[in-house]
Structures are given as structure tokens and as C-alpha cells.
Chains A and B, each alone.
Chain A
């Protein structure tokens, strides 16, 4: 044995010369001061005689203290398959593969709908802020009321649905079917419209082609009377007023025109590449059709003229080429999968966000084509328009590395619910097949790992959790931290959560999740008891300056000193953080040089074990967990990690190496391979704990580092002060404590009081007084629990039918009159069973079964906590917090008897829908009001709604545009006025503008200007307008 020579001369290494105080009872932390002491010595003989009876009554009383129940569920039940955002109510809906539909609002607001079906939802749409439409892949259309939080009805369309369009301000859902027919459903009245649209491609364009389904439907962003409809070969604009096609758009490639695919086999013939999507420019004057050959084709919506065709990288692809040019096309194999046409607050400033996926290697990316301000339609030639689409302001590609298939690109609009949800987004939410969400920032195209932007439950999907745990934190300190960190920038602001009563506890349970993108998030595990949503986030990606191998493995938080240690799961680096004020916050001195240095940093270039990374603190965080250093021992992955409350960090590696770091420095003060020490061939350390107590019969207490191994061995080290103020480590002994299985938890408690011997600053300061604190160590291994007196013998031993998953000393308020804390020891077993033992005699007080199963895959992600909470991860996206304490004050806090959160707010208005601009109106589009649309689609005698939701929602519609046109700027900018040769014509316009409900005061003047700018085409236009005046006078 190594029993240190150095030790021999020193009886108490911590004894300070000044301290001569005799053995007084140890000072307890405030939270422990009420601790009841069941062990306080009474004369031994008397105890002996009464012990049995007392313990008997004690036992039954004790057992009543425990009763398991749910506290809070965190996360969602399954993989997210579909999502939708409602601007007006600011709610986010997601559907999971388990058939749950969550609607999230601000803070903890989360209402879950499950209609007993496991058929995945394929479309989610909000209608008028009060209805949520969910369509599953078997084509059932479910109409949910966000007001009453009930399913209003389920509807079944006549054939398979291929596309869906609705508008946040209208009652109607337009359903494109497999047959090519379009049917229209009245959400508000629960009836199908008599109006349907036949397969126009079949009827009017390609009668001999195979029947095409409806590929894409879009409402004209400025006119509810017009739809943009695509079939396989043809796209049309369709007037609901006239019930006829207005213009058609057919992308025909002449021979030797490459289109989007220069290697097409039939390039020597005329081709019509299939349409996969069509979109309106937000000003409704241009149309984009996206084709399966990757062509992006821009059209004039009014004339039907092709403005230009391009691919991601090439232009004029609809023109015949000679062979030399074709050769240059060959290389790009990325296919366009989806296009979003987004705009800024001024909807004339637009950009395309194009999702691509390579057939060859599944590389996915998003290309952002920043088109900039749209040239004025009225005064711009086709060639100039083409330049707008061919020479964008900027083009950027963001690759989606290591991601599963991208399912959905969902911009989160800031300005209005219109323009297909693309009005001025800063965040673009990406949903992947794995159920994960990523957030891209627009326009920078960077990704943010920040999850506090979203409802906390979604943290489990942004991105996947690689490790999770819960731990006990002192309530006061913690609640202070939480209120300081209240999330204010969340993007979902609607609804309001039903508050749960706060449990009175001396420790609360903190939840730590480590994610595959290098993020660690710390929040309250029963956060519904708090007023605000609070979350601390750190990310090791920036600190390690890499994108790979950053998923999080072991984590350890020292709750009293607020230090955090985090290990990269695969890389084995450990990054140390400390909660403090950011010295680099908004630091103007952060020079380009520093940024450069950080950007060139690669951990592989550095041989030091400790790398200072303090300057890598995020510059925009005032206070939080700031990076301190990286420990890069290059000893494999981390198997156990403990950041103690006294500045020591123990790290164990897969190679068997045990490292002890002193954060004062920081310096490595010990590094040795366990395999040189173990007496029973332990290979790895699986748990580490620091305690302050007496070893053997030392007669004084020491700081002990206790390490449990994979085969049930306990290693004991002493951490001793040296003269120079540093510490050194002394290996004391290795003893077999448990049966042959990994030790998962080590705890120690004082023999006298039962209070925890876990090392903290207070206890460390007490060391100088030289008071010996004799105690016991409890080691929990998978197969058994042992109580040991260090340096002496095993005292007690418990084995179980099922493997132990987690364990903890608990401090539970005792029977009603005395609210003192009583120590117990609890063990959670893999079958969901919980055993509670008395301390120190380890007698079973209670055996119970949790109302939750322990998932075999996440056994390691279970925690037992000091307040009797149990945390366990139940699936990929979800965890649960339970309590085994039967506390009267907690009645009603069970999620099952909660009043649900509120989602709908009738005081929020749906903004005014932007309207057709005057030019188009002049050209023959008769402006159609929502009321007229209702009349066309619903008929003269449209029934009254059965739903009270109908009336409520009607009250939220904005029927007149605001003075500032609701932030949606007019496309039209006043050109210099020319004298018009046809002033007489304006009288006609005037009439029309009186018949039709006008919305702009300046309409007339604008009309004049447009007309002037139109120059000679005035004549033709006037003829067309003439036709519409008839309509106008009919009132439609």
C-alpha cells in the first residue's frame, strides 16, 4: 500500500495553527440546519430496550411519507413530423409520429391533442387564428378549435389530397386532389363548397397525357379571387370570379436547350419539364415555376410571358446551346426540393430560399438568392426584369451537414401572416426527417443553437439530446439565477400557461441536457412552477472551433460554486465553465486579430493538456456560464466526470486514466492510470465523488476523492494541501465494495447527523478546526448497494432483483408537526421500482412502483435527487420528473389534474390582407373582397356557423387597412408624372373605383400615374378594363 510517508509526520494536514477549538458540532449549511438528527445519542442501553418498538411505529409513519407521482413532462412524445406557425396568435404547432399535436405558446404553454390515431399528420394549417387544421396521411381532415381546445369535426375528401392551400384570414381550405380536381372546404361552416375546379390540364391542355394530380396551389397574395394552380405540365392563374383560367404558363424547352438538366437523354427534342412547385412574387405581378429538372422559371403574371429561366448557377437555360456550352453544365447534381419566396417588411425586397439535395451523396443545402428590390413593374422592360432574377445582389449556400432529410423550410414571419408565411423572417426553422429542428438566421445564413427562442419542450429536438441528467440545486440561489435568466426573446408569444403551485423545498431539481450540436442547456426540471421560462445555454462548438464530434457526453454541475464541466462525447475533451459576469461582454477591444486567432484555432495543433479559452466567451451574453479552459488529456472518451463544489474536477477516461484538476490555476494535480492501482483489474472509473470526512481512524477529516470502477471497486484518494498553497493527491487504497458491476453513484454521510459529507466550501473551511467527521460511504452499483465505513469494513449490503438505475440520499420533511428534514436513501430500479431505506441502518421503509417505465436505452439518463424527485428520460424527445414524496403541499401539482393552458386570445387581430395593386386591377383583375369570395364559394344562402368560434374569429379580422398600410409597403412608387393623352379615360376608372370597395385614398392618382407610365399599351388595357366594368356593376 501507498500509505504516504508524507502523511506520517502530519497528523492533521488542515489544522491551522490558530485554531485550537475543541470538537464542537459541525456547522451545518442553512438548508441543513433544520435537519433532524435521529441518531443523537441517548444512553445505549435504553435505546436497546426501546429500539424495536420505536422503529416499528417509525416505519409505518415513514412509509406514509412516500408516494410516487408525476411532476412534469419535458419534451414531446415522439418524432416531429409536421409543423406550422400562426403569426396572429403567435402559436407554434407540431405533430409527432405518435399522433400527438402540440400547440405551444409563450413560456410553458403547451396543449397536447391526441385523437387516438397514430396516422402521421402531413399538413398543419392555422385558419383565422382560431382553427387548427390537421390533415393526416390517410386524408382525414381534423378541425381543432384553439379556443375550446377540442376537436370540432373530422372531414373526408373524395380522393387523395396532394396539396393544400389556406389563408390566415379566410374560412376556406383549397384541397388539390390526386385526380387533378380541386375541392374547397368551408372550415367555418363545416361544409364542402359546391364549387370545385376540374382537372384543367386534362380538360384544356394535355388531354392525352396521363392524369396529373394537382401539384401546387397558391392564393394570389393580393387578390383572394385568384388562385395559382400547377399540374404536371401546366401552371395557370384561375379566377374564382369568372370560374376560368386567366393565364397559362407552360415551360417548353426547344431542342438543345438544356433546361435544368444538360445531360437529358432527349435533349434533341422538345421537352416540358414537370412542374414541382409554383409561387407568386409577393407583389403578385410575377410567378415562379419550379421544375423537376431544376429549372426556376420566372413569368409575368399578367401577360403570361416567360421572363427568364435559370438554375441555381446558370441562366437562360431555356435557350438552345451549342455543345461546348453544354459540357459546362454537367457537374452539378443537386436537386431542388423546395423554394420559399421570402420578402422583407417592404414586400418588394425579396429573396429565394432554395432547398437542395444531391442524389449522389445526399448532401443537402439551402441556397439564398438575394434578389433585392423589385424594379417597378410598370416601367421595366422584360429584359430588365430578367436581370433582376439573373443577377441577384448576393447568392449564398449553406450546407446542411450530417442531417437527415429536410422535410420542411418554415420561415417565422415578423411582419404579417401573409405571403405564404414569408413576410420578413429572421428565423427560418428547418424540420428534418429525424424529427430535429434547426434554426437558420436570415439573412446571414448562419445557424443558431439557441433553443430558448422556442418553447422549452422543443429543446429536445433542437437538435437531439445526446445525454441528460438532473441534479439537486440549492433553491434560493437557483431561483435567483432562474429569474435573472428569464427568456425574453422567444418567438412564440401567444397563449398563457396555467401556473402550478411552487413546491416548498430546500433543493430544487435542475435539468441538464447535452445535445448533438455541442449545446448544453440548463433549466429547471419542474419549470411549470416558475413564472418565467429560464434557460442557460452554452455551446462547445465555438470553443473547440469545430462542427464535428461535438455531441455532449458526461456533464457535471457544481451547484454551490456554479461551475460546469462538459465532455465531448466522442472527442474526450472536457470544457470547464464558470457562472460569472462576462468580461468580454460587448468588448470593443475584441479585435480582428482575436477573431482571427479564434477562427484558426484547432485543438489538434496544441499539445498542452490545459488550454485557456476565456477569450472565447460569447460577446453578446452579459452573464452566464463562461468558458474557462479545455482539458485535453488525449486519453480516450470520458467515462466519469465530477466538478466538485470545492474547485476540484475529477475526470476519468476510457483508457483507465484518472485525472484530477484544481480549478485554482487551473492545474492538473494528479494523473494516473487506474489499471496500475486496481487490485481486481478494474478497467475504468465509472463514478467520482468528493467528500469531506474522516478516513479510518485518522482522528481528523480529509478531502477525499472517491472513485467507483466498472467492477465494483472503490478507490480512495486524499487531497492534501501543500505549503505553497497548492494541493497534492495521495492514493490511499482500493477496496472491493460491490459485486462485480459498475458503481454508478457514491455518496457519503456523517455517522452522527446523517447529513451529507459531499464536499463544499463550508466543510472545507471547517477542516482547519480539525474536527473528525466519521461517516459512511454508500456505493450503488448496478447489482447492489453497499454501506462502508472507510478504512474499515463493509457495514451493510442490499441486493435487488433488477439492476439499480439511480440512487440518492434524500432529505424529506418529516411527519407533520416537525417539518424537519429526515435523511433517507432511495434506489430506483430498472423495472421502475423504488426502494426507500432508513439511514444509517438501511432498513427498507417503503417499496413502490413509479407510474412511468424506465426506458432500457436511457438507463444512464436517470437521476435520483435529494428532494425525492426522480428524473428519467422516457424516449428520444421526452423526459419526466416524478417525486416519491407524499407532500400535502404538492396536492394538485400532478400534471393529470392540471387546468390546461390557454391558447387563444380573442383580443389579437388578424392583420389586413394586402390587396391587388392598382395596376393589375386596371388590367382586368376585379378586386374581390373576402365577403364576395364567401358568396361565390358558399353560395347565396351560406348557412350560419354552428361554432361559437366563428363569431369570435370574425371579431378579430381587420377589415380596413391601417393608415400605414400595415407595414406592407405599396409596390408602386410614384414615377414622374407625364401629361396623358387620354385624360378622358380616368372617368371610367373613377366609376369602377367607386363600385369596388377601394382601400387606398390615393388610388385614383396612382391609377393615373400607372396609366401614364403604361404609355401606348393604354388602348389595349382600356378594352380589357371595359369588360370588367360590367362585372363591377354587378357587384362582384
Chain B
């Protein structure tokens, strides 16, 4: 048996949020299992999936959390947002309401998620010719909210990997720069466990 430690370098908790039916579950299934199903199956509870990817030469284990966008399934609680390092806000380019609701989701994220969580805006179903939200509108909203932006299609496998890799890279960059500043703060650069975990919890609560 291999006793020489883990087969990854770090873990990232990533959430998918947005209105029901925008394609969150499809994006996730496309990314993790490279499959697509055209039928709509309501997500019940929170689905948890894992995928390990290479980011900047490091093995990063992505913990991906998918939930129903509807209140009836009792999933949208603060517990869901706790500890999330990345949050993907998804709308459907063929449905304007899902796009206007992004602001509401953004507010919810600000209320419940860690301040340092990295966000990403995704306009999904770009393959559809019944599009009602233009790329430019999506881009403008992203700019207004200060988020990176991607348009994707889970159906045609357009930009799906990009969503997750872009986000993971942004998070990894944050971690690395945090580490740098942490290292600067300690005298010898040899980070002591306790101080680093307490600095982490501080970061969590402020």
C-alpha cells in the first residue's frame, strides 16, 4: 500500500449557482463525466462531485457542489456557501429572467460567502439560436459586478473546461499570493501550522 501521502496538492470547494434550468448540472456532468443529457432532471439536495485537475503544475482536487436553484428543495442556506473558494454564477442566454436574476444571486453570494471567494459569471446554452441575452450584455454585467465572464455550451462542450480551469487558476493565484504574504509575515519563512491555520480562520471571518 502506498503510504506516501496524498495524490493531490490542494483542495478547492467550488459552487454552482443560478436559476433552475440554466444548465448548472449539465455543465458539471459535462466537466466531470463528459456526458450530456437533454432532459431536465431537477437537482434534489446538493450534489457533490470531485475532479482532480492540473493547475500550474499542481494537482488540485476540485470539490464541486451543485444545487437546485429553487427554494422548494431547501438547499439554499448559508451552510451551502460556507468555505466556498470559488462560485460560478450561471444564467441561460435564452432566458432574460435568469440573466436579470444574476444580480440577486450576486447579492446572496455577498451576504453568505467568504469575502475572498473567487466568482465567475457564465452565460450557458450559447449553442441555442433563440438567444435573448447577447455576449455584450453578459460582458457588460460581468464588468459591472467585477467578475470574469465566459459563455459556454454544456451541450456542444464549448468552454466548459475553461470555466473550471479559469476559476481554479484564479483561486490558485490567490492562494499563492496569500502564502507569499503569510511567509513574509513570519520571520523565518518556515510556516508554523498553528499560526497559519489561525490566519486562515481570520481570513474566514473578516
What is A's interface to B at a CB cutoff of 8 Å? 256, 262-263, 267-268, 313-316, 319-321, 323-334, 358, 361, 363, 365, 367, 381-383, 386, 391, 394-399, 401, 444-446, 541-542, 545-548, 592, 595-596, 599-600, 602
Query: Which residue in A319, A445, A546, A599 is a CB contact (below 8 Å) of B20?
Result: A599
- A324 in contact with B10 (CB, 8 Å): yes
A381 CA / B21 CA spacing, docked (Å): 42
Tell me whether B82 and A332 are in contact (CB under 8 A): yes
**Residue from the list A324, A332, A396, A542 in contact with B83, Cβ < 8 A:** A332
A399 lies within 8 A of B40 (CB): no
Tell whether, in the assembled complex, residue B6 and residue A396 are in contact, meaning their CB atoms are under 8 Å apart: no
Question: B200 and A444: CB pair below 8 A?
Answer: no
Question: Which of B12, B13, B78, B193 has a CB less than 8 Å from the CB of A361?
Answer: B78
Could you list 9 A-B pairs, sorted by A, with CB under 8 Å?
Answer: A314-B11, A323-B197, A324-B9, A330-B83, A330-B197, A383-B1, A386-B1, A391-B50, A395-B48
How far, in whole Å, are A386 and B1 apart by their CA atoms in the complex? 10
Chain A residues whose C-beta falls within 8 Å of the C-beta of B83 in the assembled complex: 330-332
- B1-29 near A? 1/0 per residue, CB < 8 Å: 11101100111110000011100000000
Nearest-CB distance from B187 to chain A (Å)?
16
For A546, list chain B residues within 8 Å (CB): 71-72
Instruction: Report how far A524 CA is from B81 CA in the complex, Å.
Output: 46
- Nearest-Cβ distance from residue B95 to partner chain A, whole angstroms: 9
Please judge, given known A-B contacts A383-B1, A396-B47, whether A330 and B201 are in contact too, CB under 8 Å.
Answer: yes
In the complex, the answer to whether B13 meets A399 with C-beta atoms within 8 Å is no
B197 touches A327 (CB 8 A): yes
CB within 8 Å for A399 and B193 given contacts A596-B20, A599-B20: no
Given B44, B192, B200, which contacts A327 in the complex, CB threshold below 8 Å? B200
Q: Which residues of B contact A599 (CB under 8 A)?
A: 20-21, 42, 68-70, 72
Q: Give per-residue flags for B189-206: 1 if the beta carbon is below 8 A from chain A beta carbons, else 0.
A: 001110011001100100
Which chain B residue has the least Cβ–Cβ distance from A307?
B1
Q: Mark B153-192 against chain A: 1 for CB-CB distance below 8 A, else 0.
A: 0000000000000000000000100010000000000011
Which residues of A lie under 8 Å from residue B192 when comparing CB positions? Answer: 323
Q: Residues of A contacting B47 with CB < 8 Å?
A: 394-396
Residues of chain B contacted by A358 (CB below 8 angstroms): 79
Report yes or no: A396 in contact with B45, Cβ–Cβ below 8 A: yes
Residue of B nearest to A440 (CB): B45
- State in angstroms the CA–CA spacing of A358 and B79 once bound together: 9
Q: A331-B82, A541-B72 are in contact. List 16 more A-B contacts (CB 8 A).
A: A315-B6, A323-B193, A327-B196, A327-B197, A328-B12, A367-B48, A381-B1, A395-B47, A398-B46, A399-B75, A545-B72, A546-B72, A592-B39, A599-B69, A599-B72, A600-B21
Bound-state Cα–Cα, A596 to B40, Å: 8
Contact A547 B200 (CB under 8 A): no
Nearest 6 interchain pairs by C-beta:
A331-B83, A592-B40, A398-B45, A599-B20, A397-B46, A395-B48
On whether the beta carbons of B48 and A313 are closer than 8 Å, the reply is yes
- Does the CB pair B19–A446 fall under 8 Å? no
Let me know if B200 and A545 touch, CB within 8 A: no
Residues from chain B with a CB closer than 8 A to the CB of A331 are 13, 82-83, 204
A399 touches B191 (CB 8 A): no
Q: Is the CB of B77 within 8 A of A325?
A: no
Of A314, A316, A395, A548, the contact of B5 (CB 8 Å cutoff): A316
Residues on A with C-beta less than 8 A from B1 are 381-383, 386
Which B-chain residue is minimally distant from A542 (CB atoms)? B72
B45 touches A326 (CB 8 A): no
For the complex, is B73 an interface residue (Cβ under 8 Å from A)?
Answer: yes
Name the interface size band of chain B: 35 or more
The chain B residue sitting closest to A394, CB to CB, is B47
Which residue of the partner chain B has the closest CB to A331?
B83
Min C-beta distance of B109 to chain A, whole Å = 16
Query: CA A600 – CA B79 in complex, angstroms?
Result: 22
With a cutoff of 8 Å between Cβ atoms, the chain A residues found around residue B46 in the complex are: 396-399
Q: A321 contacts B74, CB within 8 Å?
A: no
| CA of A331 to CA of B6, assembled, Å | 19
Of B11, B13, B49, B77, which is within 8 A of A401 by CB? B77
Known: A395-B48, A445-B45. A383 touches B2 (CB 8 A): yes
CA distance A501 to B70 in the complex (A): 49
* B3: contacting residue among A319, A329, A391, A548, CB under 8 A: A319
User: Is A446 touching B197 in the complex (CB atoms < 8 A)?
Assistant: no
Q: Which residues of B contact A367 (CB under 8 A)?
A: 48
Q: Of residues 60 to 99 in B, which have CB atoms within 8 Å of A's CB atoms?
A: 63, 68-75, 77-80, 82-83, 97
Given the complex, which residues of B lie within 8 Å of A383, measured CB to CB?
1-2
Q: How far is the CB of A735 from chain B (nearest CB, A)?
A: 46
CA distance A833 to B175 in the complex (A): 74
Distance of B193 from chain A, by nearest CB (Å): 5
Taken together as a complex, chains A and B put the C-alpha atoms of A1014 and B82 apart, in Å, by 47
Contacts of A262 in B (CB 8 A): 197
Contact A323 B9 (CB under 8 A): no
> Within 8 Å CB of A263, what residues of B?
197, 201
Closest residue on chain A to residue B38 by CB atoms: A592
Question: A319 with B6: in contact, given A262-B197, A327-B196, A358-B79 (CB under 8 Å)?
Answer: yes
What residues of A have a CB within 8 angstroms of the CB of B42 in the complex?
595, 599
- Chain A residues with CB under 8 Å of B75's CB are 399
| Contact between B77 and A321, CB atoms less than 8 A apart | no
Complex Cα–Cα for A263 and B80 (A): 21
Query: Which of the residues A326, A333, A396 comes within 8 Å of B193, measured between beta carbons?
Result: A326
Cβ-closest chain B residue relative to A599: B20
Q: How far is the CB of B80 from chain A (nearest CB, A)?
A: 8
When the two chains form the complex, which single residue of A401, A548, A595 contacts B40, counting CB atoms closer than 8 Å?
A595
- CB closest chain-A residue, reference B46: A397
Q: Chain A residue with minimal CB distance to B193?
A: A323
CA separation between A600 and B45, bound complex, in Å? 16
Question: How far apart are B165's CB and chain A's nearest CB, in angstroms?
Answer: 19
- B5 near A323 (CB under 8 angstroms)? no
Q: In the bound complex, what is the Cα–Cα distance between A367 and B65 (angstroms)?
A: 13
Taking CB atoms, residues of chain B closer than 8 Å to A326 are: 193, 196-197
Q: Across the interface, do A397 and B2 meet the contact criterion of CB distance under 8 Å?
A: no
**Chain A residues, CB < 8 A from B13:** 313, 331
CB-contact partner of A600 in B9, B19, B44, B82, under 8 A: B19
Q: A313-B48, A592-B40 are in contact. Are A547 and B71 (CB under 8 A)?
A: yes
A323 to B182 CA separation, bound complex (whole angstroms): 12
Q: How far is the CA of A354 from the CA of B12 in the complex (A)?
A: 22
Q: Are B74 and A600 in contact (CB under 8 A)?
A: no
Contact B97–A600 (Cβ < 8 Å): yes
Report if A445-B44 is in contact (Cβ < 8 Å); known contacts: A325-B9, A358-B79: yes
Are A395 and B200 touching (Cβ within 8 A)? no
* Cβ contact of B48, chosen from A397, A399, A444, A547, cutoff 8 A: A397
Q: Complex formed: what's the CA distance from A542 to B201 in Å?
A: 40
Known contacts A326-B197, A361-B79, A592-B40; is-contact A321 B10 (Cβ 8 Å): no
Contact B44 A325 (CB under 8 A): no
Chain A residues within 8 Å of B38, by CB: 592
B45 touches A313 (CB 8 A): no
**Contact assessment for A363 and B79 in the assembled complex, using a CB-CB cutoff below 8 Å:** yes
Closest chain A CB from B11 CB (angstroms): 5
